[in-house]
Amino acid sequence: MRRQGRWATLVIAALVLGSAFPFFRAIAGSLTPEAQLFEGAPLWPSPAVLDHYHALFTERAFWLPIRNSLVVAGATTLFCVTIGSLCAYALARLRFRGKALLLGVILAVSMFPQIAVVSPLFLLLRSIRLIDTYPGLILPYLTFAMPLAVWLLVGYFRQLPAELEEAAMVDGASRLRAFREVIVPLALPGLAATAILTFVYSWNEFLFALSFTLGPERQTVPVAIALFRGQYQVPWGQVLAAAIVATTPVAVLVLAFQRRIVQGLTAGAVKG
Amino acid sequence: MASIRLAKVWKTYPNGHVAARGVDLSIADGEFMVLVGPSGCGKSTALRMIAGLETPSDGKVFIGDRDVTELPPQDRDIAMVFQSYALYPHMTVRDNLAFGLRMRGVAPAVIAERVGGAAKALGLDSVLDRKPGQLSGGQRQRVALGRAIVREPLVFLFDEPLSNLDAKLRLETRAELARLHRRLAATMVYVTHDQEEALTLGSRVAVMREGQVEQVGPPLEVYRRPATIFVATFVGSPAMNLLPADLLSGFQAEGAPRAAGTTLGVRPHDLSVMPAGSGDLDALVDVVEPRGSELLIYLRLGQTGDGPEVRVITPPDLEVAPDRVVGLRFERARLHFFDPETGRRVS
């Protein structure tokens, strides 16, 4: 047993090191002066400098893509959780014809490869003049984030005892009020998990953001970083600094709520 | 006025299960009606249709003079106590009690007064600011009761409210419910699978089976004159003995009017044990169970014990041992005769 435990620890340590190393290199690189970056960059820069971060916000106005990403990912999350929870509640609780089919279709929608829908979506968005606008990103994001949210929440709502909302309705609450006053407070862990996953998904999305924006005014963080490269050189220091800036809030968010996320994702898997 | 009437109510669930087959039931204002039957007999479905949590597939539901068949639960002025209690886990006891009043837009001062009153009556003052998770089973049960009482509804519905309590608490709460009914004089409908609960609580009892009402009547009448074999065996403990009536050919001449080939029912309390040969029939003692205040004896009819099994309740001081042959005497006035084909009472 002891031996096995030691082996397990070793394997886990190797896994953690392996997956954390690139992130560590990105942090180190973002603090390394430009000149040192290409001549055998040290594991950790001896004069750690903030030049790249400085340049990011003075020369490149990196706050603009951050703002865009916050607006787009935030709005997508908000819509997903509000509309998605109502939709999921109906699917979890109400009896109506074709429910299983509807759930299947919702799942199927999220299975399309993104690249397959980019062109038709582009034509559609152009015809309703939404290219290079926030709604022009939020609406397409909803098409892949909403199915995920609905499926997660259906599972979560199903495991809440139906007697609670029945009690609320006998007590005089309408179905919607019972949902708001009884179900939503109890489903908070599931709603939080869904919100975070949706946010991270939208925050990292690249293909739609690249295809449906035209200039820096509406570009999101991943697109902005990809477009850092000039004709003759790639400003690696700034790319790494931008990557750190873009990753840190998401990583902090996930770490802070990780227990809730795991709870929310595995809820209903086992009874009790 | 809060009488309740189910008129030819049918309920078929989407999975094809028929939970109610033309249930007809009238419950008078202020009555304590108990729906009793084995699990799956449709008693909970009947209650849920009165509550509005299920809509009948056919038939009508009336509360007072109002047709409420299509009315959602929140518009019916009923209160319901659930088997699981269904307390709102994220709210304090105070908020749980106040929820129904708040939903109906009662003034905060009135809410506070009524919640305070109910909490006092149920001994919940000291736990008003706790959450349900921090309460004992008995306290949770009282909160569920209190949540119904503060509403002062026309009708109280109970869905097996005592089944999660231990035996002692169950007896106490049963008495509490009887007192509550006397004090409020409200119409109450109570669902249980426990025939003893039904007999002790109900002003009337409706015995249900496979989606139909088999018999409705005051508890004593249902016990004394069961309308069918099913009711006869379901109500009363230990269950009534069922025997071919022809076994008793010996005293057929002096008995009540009956046809040959009927099924004879006799309760264990209506049989007495005497020396072999001096009763109506002889039987071999199989097992003797002392129950404190009485003895429960399992016997087999016939001197060699090759006949059907019979259960008898006797006083506790009777001298009797297994493998002894004894005589059995049938209480003439307490015999029941049923048609074995239809299961209906014939006498």
As a whole number of angstroms, the distance between CA A99 and CA A115 comes to 29
Contact B103 A95 (CB under 8 A): no
As a whole number of angstroms, the distance between CA B302 and CA B7 comes to 49
- Do A218 and A246 share a structural domain? yes
Closest chain B residue by Cα to residue A188: B90
- Do A138 and A197 share a structural domain? yes
The rounded mean pLDDT for chain B is 91
Residue B148 inside a domain? The answer is yes
- Do B159 and B18 share a structural domain? yes
Q: Please say if the pLDDT value at position B92 is more than 60.
A: yes
Contact A167 B80 (CB under 8 A): yes
- Do B172 and B57 share a structural domain? yes
Helical residues (DSSP H) of B214-287, grouped into ranges = 219-224, 229-234
Say whether B278 sits in a helix, a strand or coil: coil
Q: Which of residues 156-175 of B touch A (CB under 8 A)?
A: 157
B53 in contact with A, Cβ within 8 Å: yes
Residue B217 inside a domain? The answer is yes
The pLDDT value recorded for residue A51 is: 84
Residue B269 inside a domain? The answer is yes
- Do A113 and A68 share a structural domain? yes
How many separate domains does chain A show?
2
As a whole number of angstroms, the distance between CA B39 and CA B163 comes to 13
Measured in angstroms, the CA of A180 and the nearest CA of chain B are apart by: 12
Q: Which of B56, B47, B54, B63 is nearest to B10 (CA)?
A: B56
Percent of chain B with pLDDT over 70: 96
Residue A272 inside a domain? The answer is no
Measured in angstroms, the CA of A167 and the nearest CA of chain B are apart by: 6
Q: What H or E segment, with its residue span, contains residue B313?
A: strand B309-314
- Do B191 and B216 share a structural domain? yes
Angle between helices A63-93 and A99-109 (to 10 degrees): 160
Closest chain A residue by Cα to residue B73: A170
* Arithmetic mean of pLDDT, B297-315: 91
The number of CA neighbours under 13 Å toward the Cβ of B141 is: 20
Tokens of B86: 């269904």
Contact B86 A163 (CB under 8 A): yes
User: What's the distance, CA A264 to chain centroid?
Assistant: 15
Question: Exposure pattern of B10-39 as b/e (b: 16+ CB <10 Å)?
Answer: bbeeeeeeebbeebebebeeebbbbbbbee
Residue B124 inside a domain? The answer is yes
φ/ψ (deg, to 5) at B55:
-100, 130
Long-range (24+ apart) CB contacts under 8 A made by A261-265 are A261/A192, A261/A193, A261/A196, A261/A197, A263/A189, A263/A193, A264/A152, A264/A156, A264/A189, A264/A190, A264/A191, A264/A192, A264/A193, A264/A194, A265/A152, A265/A193
- Do B127 and B8 share a structural domain? yes
Model pTM greater than 0.90?
Answer: no
* B contact test, residue of A170, A184, A191 with most B CBs within 10 A: A170
B212, with CB counted inside 10 A (0-12, 13-18, 19+), is middle
pLDDT per residue as tens, chain A (272 positions):
567 788 999 999 999 999 999 888 888 888 888 777 777 767 787 777 888 888 888 888 888 999 999 999 999 999 999 999 999 999 998 888 888 899 999 888 888 888 988 999 999 999 999 999 999 999 999 988 999 899 999 988 998 889 999 999 999 999 999 999 999 988 888 898 899 889 999 999 999 999 999 988 899 999 998 888 877 778 888 888 999 988 888 888 888 877 776 766 665 444 33
The pLDDT value recorded for residue A253 is: 82
Query: Do A80 and A198 contact (CB within 8 A), yes or no?
Result: yes
Contact A173 B74 (CB under 8 A): yes
φ/ψ (deg, to 5) at B30:
80, 5
Whole-number CA gyration radius for chain A: 23
Residue A140 inside a domain? The answer is yes
ipTM confidence: 0.85
A219, with CB counted inside 10 A (0-12, 13-18, 19+), is buried
B228: DSSP letter: B
As a residue count, chain A comes to 272
- Do A64 and A44 share a structural domain? no
Q: Please say if the pLDDT value at position B308 is more than 50.
A: yes
Other beta carbons less than 10 A from residue A239's beta carbon: 19
- Do B295 and B195 share a structural domain? no
Residue A208 inside a domain? The answer is yes
Q: What angle do CA B30, B35, B36 make, to 5 degrees?
A: 145
**Segments forming the whole domain that contains residue B116:** 4-228
- Do B193 and B45 share a structural domain? yes
Q: Are strands B155-159 and B187-192 parallel, antiparallel or unpaired?
A: parallel
In which residue are the tokens 């394997």 written?
A11
The pLDDT value recorded for residue A269 is: 45
B80 in contact with A, Cβ within 8 Å: yes
Residue B68 inside a domain? The answer is yes
Q: Please say if the pLDDT value at position B255 is more than 80.
A: no
Residue A271 inside a domain? The answer is no
In which residue are the tokens 């029939």 written?
B281
CATH number for the domain including B211? Answer: 3.40.50.300
Q: Which of B186, B205, B228 is the last residue of a domain?
A: B228
Closest chain A residue by Cα to residue B153: A171
Residue B101 inside a domain? The answer is yes
**Segments forming the whole domain that contains residue A8:** 1-49
CATH number for the domain including B300? Answer: 2.40.50.140
From the list A167, A172, A175, the residue facing B104 with the nearest CB is A172
Contact A166 B82 (CB under 8 A): yes
- Do A23 and A81 share a structural domain? no
- Do B309 and B188 share a structural domain? no
Measured in angstroms, the CA of A160 and the nearest CA of chain B are apart by: 11
- Do A215 and A191 share a structural domain? yes
Counted across chains A and B, CB pairs separated by less than 8 A come out at: 63
Q: Using CA of residue A60, residue A63, residue A66, residue A67, what is the dihedral sign?
A: negative
CA distances to A123, B34, B233, B236, B247 from B222, in Å = 76, 12, 11, 10, 26
Query: Do B330 and B312 contact (CB within 8 A), yes or no?
Result: no
As a whole number of angstroms, the distance between CA B42 and CA A95 comes to 20
Residue A54 inside a domain? The answer is no
The pLDDT value recorded for residue B249 is: 65
Q: Please say if the pLDDT value at position B100 is more than 70.
A: yes
From the list B76, B83, B86, the residue facing A164 with the nearest CB is B86
- Do A173 and A71 share a structural domain? yes
Say whether B165 sits in a helix, a strand or coil: coil
- Do B219 and B71 share a structural domain? yes
Chain A residues lying within 8 Å of B79, measured CB to CB? 170-171
CATH number for the domain including A181? Answer: 1.10.3720.10
- Do A158 and A112 share a structural domain? yes
Contact A168 B104 (CB under 8 A): no
- Do B252 and B207 share a structural domain? no
Measured in angstroms, the CA of A191 and the nearest CA of chain B are apart by: 16
- Do A177 and A80 share a structural domain? yes
- Do A11 and A105 share a structural domain? no
- Do B211 and B254 share a structural domain? no
B78 in contact with A, Cβ within 8 Å: yes
- Do B147 and B88 share a structural domain? yes
- Do A203 and A114 share a structural domain? yes
Chain B residues lying within 8 Å of A161, measured CB to CB? 84, 86
Contact B88 A169 (CB under 8 A): no
- Do B169 and B31 share a structural domain? yes
Chain A residues lying within 8 Å of B88, measured CB to CB? 164, 167-168, 182
- Do A134 and A10 share a structural domain? no
Query: Do B6 and B49 contact (CB within 8 A), yes or no?
Result: yes
**Tens of pLDDT, residues B18-65:** 999 999 999 999 999 999 999 999 999 999 999 999 999 999 999 999
- In this structure, which amino acid lies at residue B252? Q
How many separate domains does chain B show?
2
C-alpha dihedral, B163 to B27 to B202 to B167, nearest 10°:
10
Q: Please say if the pLDDT value at position B257 is more than 60.
A: no
Residue B343 inside a domain? The answer is no
DSSP string covering chain A: -HHHHHHHHHHHHHHHHHHHHHHHHHHHHHTS-HHHHTTT--SS-SS---HHHHHHHHTS-THHHHHHHHHHHHHHHHHHHHHHHHHHHHHHH---TTHHHHHHHHHHHTTS-HHHHHHHHHHHHHHTT-TTSSHHHHHHHHHHHHHHHHHHHHHHHHTS-HHHHHHHHHTT--HHHHIIIIIHHHTHHHHHHHHHHHHHHHHH--HHHHHS--STTT--HHHHHHTT--SS---HHHHHHHHHHHHHHHHHHHHHHHHHHHHHHHTTTS--
Contact B82 A177 (CB under 8 A): no
Query: Do B332 and B250 contact (CB within 8 A), yes or no?
Result: no
